[in-house]
Amino acid sequence: MKINGSRILVVNKDKGCGKMLNDIQEVLITQEQLQAKVQELGKRISQDYSGKELLMVCILKGAVVFYADLVRQISIPVFMDFMAVSSYGDATRSSGAVMIIKDLDQTIAGKHVLIVEDIVDTGLTLKYLVENLKARNPLSIKICTLLDKPERRVTDVKVDYNGFTIPDAFVVGYGLDYAEAYRHLPYVCVLKPEIYE
């Protein structure tokens, strides 16, 4: 499988992730690549919001690992808040109907808001979130996602910061789950097909 032009087939078996390692078909994005990208994104975001106060909104749970790494690469004043949403659908496909499970703790009126997501797939979750948050009158609202799967997009979503564009595959690790497992893996990978069957 190709990510940004390079083929990565290395599974790092030294990271002590237990028997879950046997479920991995292919590592798509290594720890080193993730680290470098997070640094690059943090630098860009810090420059773009220079002189402003930024509220970074983590979309739980998938974005939590990316978010925790990203906020530590921001060199301007940053405020943190969290939202948890659930999209109805089967285990690997979202339906577009979104329910807010945990809302923000603070008002966002007059604030610069950056939504931090794990992955944009159909775009339906983010479309809902942006519309929902826009109605609360923020000064600005932008999107930062670790991963983008443009092949599967069914609605227009403007991604302002994207880590990696990936093909249409279901990925886990670095916060992303399958049935709540694999979030702790330090890389982004594809599972063996038999795991879903």
48 binds ligand 5GP (CB under 6 A): no
Between 73 and 87, whose beta carbon lies closer to ligand 5GP? Answer: 87
In the complex, minimum distance from the CB of residue 133 to ligand 5GP, in angstroms, rounded to a whole number: 15
CA distance 138 to 28: 36
Which range of residues in 33-41, 74-82, 136-144, 174-182 is near ligand 5GP by CB under 6 A? 174-182
Which range of residues in 11-19, 28-36, 102-110, 165-173 is near ligand 5GP by CB under 6 A? 165-173
Exactly one of 73, 177, 184, 186 binds ligand 5GP (CB under 6 A); which one? 177
CA distance 148 to 37: 14
Write the CA distances from 45 to 37, 40, 81, 189, integer angstroms: 12, 9, 17, 26
3 binds ligand 5GP (CB under 6 A): no
118 binds ligand 5GP (CB under 6 A): yes
Judged by CB under 6 A, the chain residues 60 through 79 that form the site for ligand 5GP are 62
Is residue 90 annotated as part of the catalytic site, yes or no? no
**Count of residues touching ligand 5GP (by CB under 6 A):** 18
CA distance 146 to 37: 9
24 binds ligand 5GP (CB under 6 A): no
120 binds ligand 5GP (CB under 6 A): yes
129 binds ligand 5GP (CB under 6 A): no
Structure tokens at 192: 């063996």
DSSP states of 64-121 as a string?
Answer: HHHHHHHHTT--S-EEEEEEEEEEEESSS-EEEEEEEEE--SS--TT-EEEEEEEEES
143 binds ligand 5GP (CB under 6 A): no
Which range of residues in 43-51, 74-82, 115-123, 132-140 is near ligand 5GP by CB under 6 A? 115-123
CA distance 73 to 82: 18
What's the full length of the chain, in residues? 197
CA distance 114 to 21: 34
H or E, element range at 146: strand 140-148
The residue ranges that bind ligand 5GP (CB under 6 A) are 62, 87, 94, 117-125, 170-172, 176-178
